[in-house]
Structure 1
Amino acid sequence: MTNAQLTLVQIDNYGPWTVTPDPRREMDLQTMQSRLFADLAQFIGGRGGYVFFTRFDNMVAITNGLDRTDHELLQETIGNRYPVTISLGTGIDASPIVALESATAGLQRAGSAQDGDRREVLSGDFLSASERTPEDVQIAHFDVNDATGKYTDQLNEFDSFIQIEQGYATLMRYLREEHGALSFFVGGDNIISICPAMSADDYHESIAHVEADAGVELKVGVGVAETPHEAGMDAKHALEACRHRGTAVELGVPHDDVGVATD
């Protein structure tokens, strides 16, 4: 049984700040957002977690292994380095979407995201050491079959992007509605999903749905571990097994059983 700890990262009062005292240059805002995400990724990733940019003013992290002190230090670090502050809400549940809903509710109770008086809220619960298990986190790493041959080397970049994004959108909605999983595009033709305890059949059905609905063929490697980093690395190795064996779904493949393949 999984037990995901989700953290919602929300920039405080960001909308009003971007136009006060005058509208700020868009590329300056994009630069700040990308640097902020990079710092969050380095901080959370260095402690075994994953963070995803979603809308940039709101970001979602799976933070199994990070405690309240880590979250407080993250807020302090960002507050010292940026002209904006961040509020953090956490939630815990076997279902990732339920955990995120709990994390979101904690911040919403503290005030609006555009409330000028709300600063550096830290709400929610954290998994204690005694509650943690080697099955807490299930990470699925999806990849488009032959994306280079079908899209990158055949279409212009924008049309390639449309094709891959359509596959992502279909998968994201299906996994959220059918399983309560959270899926995030992470660049290239890769999607990472935070999942509840799902079976190989569940993943085969998900892949079949995306192919039928969006015409995009996927494969997926799945890892289960105590932390997102460990589960994610196992998922990467399982995905390599898909490439090596020509399979669509691989769960928990030992590293030394994986050959070398591409795309």
Structure 2
Amino acid sequence: MTVQISIVRIDGYGPWTLTRGSDREHKLQILQARLYSDVQRLFAQKNALVFFNRFDEMFAVTNGVTLGEHVEILKELLKSHNLDISISIGSGKTPYEAHLDAYRARNQKVQRNKLKVYGDTKDGDYVQIMHVDVDGSTSTVSKDLTPYEISSLIANLHAKLLQKFMEKGALTFFLGGDNFMVVANGIGSAETVELLDEVTNGMKIRLKCGIGKAATARKAAEMATKALDTIRDLRKTGKIERIFEQSCL
């Protein structure tokens, strides 16, 4: 039971930014946005899915993407971006273990090609992704809080989700708005409810969660979003569900 994580990173980014002059911040933001767009597009074509970690580093969930395909993606990125970019590949029973494997491959320079693609690919069993959002945020939270107060609430929520799920070997990413995705192989529905309750304890909000399982990350995310949409549809009929799961395995 394995999941594959690939870390796309701009190497030497900090020192490089210092060579861009003082009036650089807008240029850096544009560069980061363009790079993310290209990374997401190229991996999505392989049925993978990319999440921001930090703006100079992105995590891709890459079950089914071969080593050769990683090399081709890096070649495409280097054609468009005059940057020192590396991709590190890892796998593990949990997403956290997979990211550690990728981290070690980069640090140990485990390289099987001429480009900076570190590590190797393995056949993954499945990907489990959760799509989490704040219950009723449009009608309740937005009425009670200012836009910046909402940002503070969401940042606090993100930190709590990240910590709680990381303790279980899962990786949490903010999507924007009040939406998060958690790469969460091995965490069942009952445990998910417990974790979400622990996260929101004292926060005066509730969370709902769609869980998706599939052979690839892109399909798992689709299943998770369909599950979340199902929760919304069920509520129109008077049935309240906080967790719903869909799988195409």
Please report the TM-score for the alignment, with normalisation by the length of structure 2. Answer: 0.90
Query: How far has the Cα of 1:150 moved from its partner?
Result: 2.3
Give the letter for the 2:171 counterpart.
L
Q: Which residue of 2 aligns with 1:181?
A: 170
Q: Which residue of 2 aligns with 1:18?
A: 17
Query: How far has the Cα of 1:109 moved from its partner?
Result: 2.2
Q: Which residue of 1 aligns with 2:237?
A: none
In the alignment, structure 1 residue 195 sits paired with structure 2 residue 184 = yes
Q: Which residue of 2 aligns with 1:74?
A: 73
Per-residue deviation, residues 180-202 of structure 1 (Å, max 9, x unmatched): 00000001111001012111111
Structure 1 consecutive aligned stretches of length 4 or more whose deviation exceeds 4 Å = none
Per-residue deviation, residues 73-95 of structure 1 (Å, max 9, x unmatched): 11111111112031111111111
Aligned length: 240
Query: How far has the Cα of 1:247 moved from its partner?
Result: 0.9
Q: Which residue of 2 aligns with 1:55?
A: 54
Give the letter for the 1:218 counterpart.
L
SS in 2 for 1:159: helix
Query: How far has the Cα of 1:244 moved from its partner?
Result: 2.4
Please report the TM-score for the alignment, with normalisation by the length of structure 1. Answer: 0.86
Query: How far has the Cα of 1:223 moved from its partner?
Result: 0.8
Give the letter for the 1:226 counterpart.
A
Q: Which residue of 1 aligns with 2:195?
A: 206
Aligned mate of 2:243, from 229, 242, 249: 249
- Any residues of structure 2 matched to 1:76-115 within 5 Å, and which? 76-110=75-109
- Tell whether the 8 Å contact from 1:237 to 1:253 is kept in structure 2 after alignment: no
Distance 1:215 1:28 in 2: 39
Per-residue deviation, residues 134-162 of structure 1 (Å, max 9, x unmatched): xx110111011011122234322111111
Q: Percent same amino acid at aligned positions?
A: 30
Consecutive unaligned residues of structure 1, counting only runs of 5 or more, are 112-118, 255-263
Distance 2:134 2:13 in 1: 35
Q: Which residue of 2 aligns with 1:125?
A: 120
Give the letter for the 2:245 counterpart.
L
Query: How far has the Cα of 1:108 moved from its partner?
Result: 1.8
Consecutive unaligned residues of structure 2, counting only runs of 5 or more, are 235-239
